[in-house]
Structure 1
Amino acid sequence: MACGYALGISGTALSEAQNYIHINDFWVGLIGAGSLLGLMGSTIIGRIADRIGRRKMLMIDMYVFSLFSLLQLLTINQLALFLICFFIGLMIAIDYTVGNSLLVEWLPLNESGKKQSQLIIYWTIGFIFSYIAGITIHGFGSRNW
């Protein structure tokens, strides 16, 4: 759910942020695409996870993902915001790649497909919640985004 929420909230938050950090259309597009560009890291994550260890990598990923998500609150620098979004996308790529393979390894064959389908459902719920949160949160002024 956290990954779906993180990808979804960036769209609503970025439109709100434009009112306070005065970014032009180029940076809006780049920051908005940052997490999607980070997702391209999934092409190499599998090999890295095989060397480091999937379980260890997934645990580290969740902490780093949380840290980068919180760092978004502390910056108004456009380049820093783009890099943070990029690294959030990379952390999501790790979650998708490593988390899914761990799930397949641990579960019995007759439960594996069902649980993988549930991952997609939970991702979608997180994405939906991000838009609900983006629409309903008000009253924080310049920190609303």
Structure 2
Amino acid sequence: MTDMFAVERRLSELDHVRLSRLVHRHKGGRRTSPTTGPIEQLLGAAEVLSWPELPPDVVTMRSRVLLQDLQTGLTSRWTLSFPGDAESGANRVSVLSPLGFSLLGQRAGATVRWSTPAGDTLAAVVLDILFQPESSGDYAM
């Protein structure tokens, strides 16, 4: 993950607070996740913006995105979720998963890469942000 922050990522203030609490709970509860360390690094490195400053093409928590797999060309829709809300059958991906982490803070048009449990690297383009809570005025989600 040496290239993790090669592209500047943006977070909403609310996402920053919620993700900081999530990381704190994981550390306090002595639970571990392969993504907790990178999330902590992202929280320290990302540009944190208030909701009026946040561009509508940034993937935030609970955003719905349209991805195109670079290998197959197939498209899929995903919602970036907190771990308790994630459900693969409903295409809700946890921010602590490799795909979820790769999406957080990216912009439409970005290429995201993540590793599978088998060690393969997958890549997709964020074709569109279908829904972003902040740009829809939904700050309580």
**Same fold, TM exceeding 0.5?**
no
Q: Which has the higher contact order (CA 8 A, sep 6+)?
A: 1
TM-score where L is the length of structure 1: 0.31
TM-score where L is the length of structure 2: 0.32
The structure having more radius of gyration, on CA atoms, is: 1
